[in-house]
Chain A
Amino acid sequence: MDELELLKKDWQSTSHKTEQIYTSKEIYPMLLKKSSSIVKTLFYISIGELLLWVLINSIPYFSSEKFRAELETMYGNSTILLVITIFSYAIILAFVYLLYKSYKTISVTDTAKQLMESILKTRKIVKYYVIYNLVIAFLSMAFGFYYTIYENPIVSQQFADFSSKQMFVALMIMIFFTAIFILVIWLVYRLIYGILLKRLNRNYKELKKLEV
């Protein structure tokens, strides 16, 4: 007899003998418990990431008068800063909208493959958001350095006295710290999602492999 047929016979004959039969009284409290699914975790992480970047971008500006004053000295009263601020908040809102839309499409009643795809798509939106922030962080650091060197009277005086060798070392230090900053964020990001979605990725690959 085919092994699987034997298993089927047994499976169906013992199907009523399950480990523990819950009564309706026991089921009611289960409905009130909180889910610990990866979608929920992913949702909290996305919210966390959105807030984190908003905080990173705004805390220094709002918390320190001196910093704000310095920024104004460096950039002047140009409308560029205002435009950049409006633009960056518009981008955040756009990501919030995309995330919300994406979460709405995740449905546990889809096929296994569709469900995995919609979860991965949601994660991708968060990924783009992080990439966007890393690029912005990199650009603002580069511009920040540029303006500090050329527009900040004290620093620009110091730099003017630098020899070309000192200038090179200063530049290398700046590039090094920028790279470390971006690398650390990227690693943390990979770690969080790597652990969270390891199983999902493995199963998704398995399903995709079947289609080839």
Chain B
Amino acid sequence: MPEPKQEVPILEAPLLEVRDLRKHFATRRGLLSALSREAGSQVIPAIDGVSFDLHENETLGLVGESGCGKTTTGKAILKLHNVTSGTIRYRGADITSQTQAQFRPLRRDIQMIFQDLDAALNPKVRIQDILNEAVRIGEPGADKEAVQRRIYELLDLVNLKKNKLANFPSELSGGEKRRIGIARVLAVRPKLIVADEPTSALDVSIQAQVINLMRDLQAQFGLSYLFISHDLQLVELMSHRVAVMYLGQIVEMGPAKEVAKHPKHPYTSILWASIVEKRSKEIEDGGAAPAWGVFDFERPRGGCRFAPRCPVYAARGKPAICTDSASAPTLQPTGEGRVVACHFPL
């Protein structure tokens, strides 16, 4: 199993192309205000113009803080959310314009590992039936014996014993639930897996097992992962490329190791500097800890969304261009396959 290659050969057509994706949620309002149709209903942009490509056998890490829209992006790719605008193309076919029924055959190719361990498994169904159902989607028309053979094969793939089949999900440990979740997804032989925080609910010692498993499966089946996580070290380890999201937009994207080592966007820099372990080492080594932004969290006023928290913005004497709503920064290439959306990249 090789290290994730830093230089991914640019294939002619990416597996997944996401262009200018937007998803706006309207705030929930009471019945009476809905009837009165009063103007100015609140709209919250969860994702606001996200574009990226994902190639075959590649892992793209999607990092950011909670509420930055990374999970919404993942679910939009699976059509679990209807997007407001933008396109998602899978092997060239636009899936945003398809209806749910039209999209259903493609669901076999695009699968998702959900963050919540229990959420993905119906608590009242035995493991045997959970897998049986998934295998029947993956192998339509297979006879009973073939289905059972495939179930054993899947258990083997995720290193689980056969005696777990008779159990209900609640009787399994966290790691086992996660493995069943992965086996269920593999049953339909996907090409692309959106992995939404696949290890965040697991213990450290179990997390390593799952990470190893996911890497093995990628090598074995040529899977592509959209790896969503808030754990930066994990993303750095798992991904070929990484995209950093802030308030619904990608602010920096590029090869994982490069982005981690030499961040160009101030937000990326703060994010990586906040890894507690690294930070303690830096302080011990006498190096100055990087300056934090001003506030924990602040809504943007216009222009660059990160400006209110940005140390560079503060250090440069609050240049007007950063808060000018006419000139919001866009992703600009900076070489080595990297792009960054900042007026004053580091």
Do A and B truly interact? Answer: no
Please give the residue numbers on chain A whose beta carbons come within 8 Å of chain B beta carbons, in ascending order: none
Please give the residue numbers on chain B whose beta carbons come within 8 Å of chain A beta carbons, in ascending order: none
